[in-house]
Amino acid sequence: MIDFVATFIAFFAVIDPIGTVPVFIAVTSQYDAQLRKKIALFATLIAAGILLFFVLIGEHILNAMSIPLPAFQIAGGIVLFLFALTMIFGDSKPDEEIQMAKNHRDTATFPLAVPSIASPGAMLAAVLLTDNSRFSAWEQAQTVSMIFAVLLVAYILMLLSGQIIKLIGSSGAGVISRVMGLILAAVATTNTLAGIKLYFGL
């Protein structure tokens, strides 16, 4: 049995549904309400498909390339940590991805589905938290359910984006994104230390 709360928080940090709200508003500002709902659903389904792909195939790709999972876990933890630092000290997720959205208003898939929802950090977390050597198929299914739960939250928040942005403002979304970055940094550190311990058999 996995720790549902910890897993949910980890994916909430890397997917960052709240930080996706300003991005969604930016890329769909020219559409009517009905089309905005369709775009939100489409983006969520694309992100779900991408993350599920990494859950099912990611580790097999590593095995085919003869990359031990502990090495990937260490590298993934470092990358996640650097990604977290950009969330904390660099441009916040809304600031950075809204700028991307201004140049790609013709599609909601980019940057909405990728990299806003299915972020690089989420892809790495999907592989690390469904390690075949550490988790049973049932536990991996539980992890997938937490991914889908976070994606459902992201979908609902996109549907409520108009009300949310009025409530917290763009600056509020940026603050929350930085808090999620701090949580992600802690998750990344834990993954790196676990990878080192596994690699050296400590």
pLDDT in tens, 82-139: 877 877 886 555 555 555 544 434 456 777 888 789 887 788 889 889 988 889 999 9
Question: What is the average per-residue pLDDT within 164-183?
Answer: 75
Question: What is the average per-residue pLDDT within 56-63?
Answer: 85
* Alpha helices for 65-160 (secondary structure H): 69-89, 93-102, 120-128, 137-159
pTM for the whole structure = 0.73
Percent of the chain with pLDDT over 90: 28
Please give the radius of gyration of the chain, using alpha carbons only, rounded to the nearest integer: 17
Question: Is a pLDDT exceeding 50 seen at residue 52?
Answer: yes
Percent of the chain with pLDDT over 70: 87
CA distance 185 to 88: 9
